[in-house]
Chains A and B, each alone.
Chain A
């Protein structure tokens, strides 16, 4: 019986599809019935055209000699000039290397930390203690990037708190942001601090979803808490970890340019400058619009490839992003 029902519904669907052919008459009919929906959708479509698709078209200035006087359309074509200029400059390797290294370090250090925190929190039986730790660990997430970078600047200055702690261990106090070998550590550690609590939320939710009966069965089998974690908890949240890891790989070249802009200076630029901060400096500070657009376009294309590939991969793991 179920089968015949299924068949029937399939037929119905086919019929519906036939009816919904985009003939002029159908469109007219649909428009009469749903005109108000199209009316409210229109501003949203206009928004997308203006603020998402027009800039995509505007990216053609990467291939032009853009001058504000002549505009996007009127500027003369320059071909690949700005791409070649970027590839042959020292900034190409510098920015790509920095972006890549910062992202890789972030994945190595900032990705597992929230998982570990979630596992540790999961072992806490006392609920008010768990809640307080969670609330306090969310705090850095709500502080603005400007304040965070301001705090970093104050704390790593030669008379700042972190330098003082360092000098307690015999490290001479210097401004760590003035030393280029320290920048990545500052970026990663502060990133860890910003994200560890907030990013653990999703894992805690996954942990709450692990079947309680499995634990009972494990206890009957004589498994201690460590064994339970190893054989039940971790496999239980593995799908979540896998999906988030894959999605994280997708953003591998989208290191946070905003944070770099707030933290870098002429002394640490060699290790700090990422593509995001470079396009900002070239474009909006030095007003080299075409050059900056070329770099930005390159980044967009690479990111697009990465994100599409990783989404395909995450679908294979059984998770549909959209």
Chain B
């Protein structure tokens, strides 16, 4: 046991206090939102300062939010885009990483250069938009699933993982007469499951939180994901679509309820992520580590 000097003990205490402060600052805003969402609107307006428990338990905000049909369609759309993008991304990454890991692939360096170059240079927002438009993807759900599905970064991670598989396994498969496809789906894919899971996770969280692409590429409200509705509610302050008609009729009521509706919508849309991430964080951390290993 190492003896600790007085100075070290004082440091430990201060260190713990600083870390508690950091954790508090990071987590408190979300806690405040949850408390506020269950609060009575008029009490919330009158209250100032921190909030550690709901003021006068009230579910009125949730009643209004859950009556809003667009929350459901937003949820549906988000799930469609998230699942679709995860499937397409994982498949593209697996296939691309596999192809690039083949030692006998002709023009491999040409492909590699062409892919890495896109990480350094891009056409920019408007040219990309115009090309996507000319492909007829603007206003289509497919734009949400296809755009961003192929990523050089992911493929390099995949390639590194495949390089990590001992050659002897593949050689054994080749001797047994397995072609490239059989090697990929029977040998390589099961061995790369952890990496594929990490890539799927990053895609799922990224898509769930993406708002910019839906905003510029989707045109119909029935196609909007959650984040687009959240943006209307929180940023452009467009309440007309966020609440049901009976609330709208009463203008004073609306301004009173405005904050509570905002808080409730935040909770409804963010809670799944907040409940899930503590259990998945180790995969994210391992994903960062895989990305840090040079390919």
Residues of A near any B CB (own CB < 8 A): 20, 22, 26-27, 30, 33-34, 36-38, 40-41, 43-45, 47-48, 50-59, 61, 66, 71-72, 117, 120-121, 123-124, 129, 132-133, 135-140, 142-147, 149-151, 153-155, 159, 161, 164-165, 168, 193, 196-197, 201-202, 205, 219, 224-226, 258, 261-262, 279-280, 283-284, 289, 292-293, 296-297, 299-300, 303-304, 307-308, 319-322
- Which A residues are in CB contact (< 8 Å) with B128? 51, 55, 58
- In the complex, the chain A residue whose C-beta lies closest to that of B295 is A322
B111 touches A45 (CB 8 A): yes
- In the complex, the chain A residue whose C-beta lies closest to that of B236 is A262
Cα distance A155–B266 in the bound complex, in angstroms? 14
B99 touches A55 (CB 8 A): no
- Which A residues are in CB contact (< 8 Å) with B19? 120-121, 124, 129, 133
| Distance (whole angstroms) from the CB of B168 to the closest CB of chain A | 18
The total number of A-B Cβ pairs within 8 Å is 255
| Distance (whole angstroms) from the CB of B156 to the closest CB of chain A | 6
- Which A residues are in CB contact (< 8 Å) with B212? 258, 261
Identify the 9 closest CB pairs spanning chains A and B, nearest first.
Answer: A55-B123, A150-B234, A296-B124, A58-B127, A144-B209, A136-B23, A55-B127, A55-B128, A283-B126
In this complex, the interface size class of chain B, counting residues with CB under 8 Å from chain A, is: 35 or more
A283 touches B179 (CB 8 A): no
Q: Which of B95, B124, B130, B184 contacts A300 (CB 8 A)?
A: B124
Residues of B near any A CB (own CB < 8 A): 2, 5, 7-8, 11-12, 15-16, 18-20, 22-27, 29-30, 32-33, 45, 48-50, 92, 95-96, 98-99, 102, 104-106, 111, 114-116, 118, 120-132, 134-135, 146-147, 149-150, 155-156, 179-181, 184, 205, 208-212, 216, 227, 230-231, 233-235, 259, 262, 266, 269-270, 273-274, 277-278, 281, 285, 288-289, 292, 294-295
| Distance (whole angstroms) from the CB of B155 to the closest CB of chain A | 8
Cα distance A197–B285 in the bound complex, in angstroms? 12
- Which A residues are in CB contact (< 8 Å) with B294? 319-322
Q: Which of A30, A58, A154, A296 contacts B104 (CB 8 A)?
A: A30
- Which A residues are in CB contact (< 8 Å) with B111? 41, 45
- In the complex, the chain B residue whose C-beta lies closest to that of A125 is B12
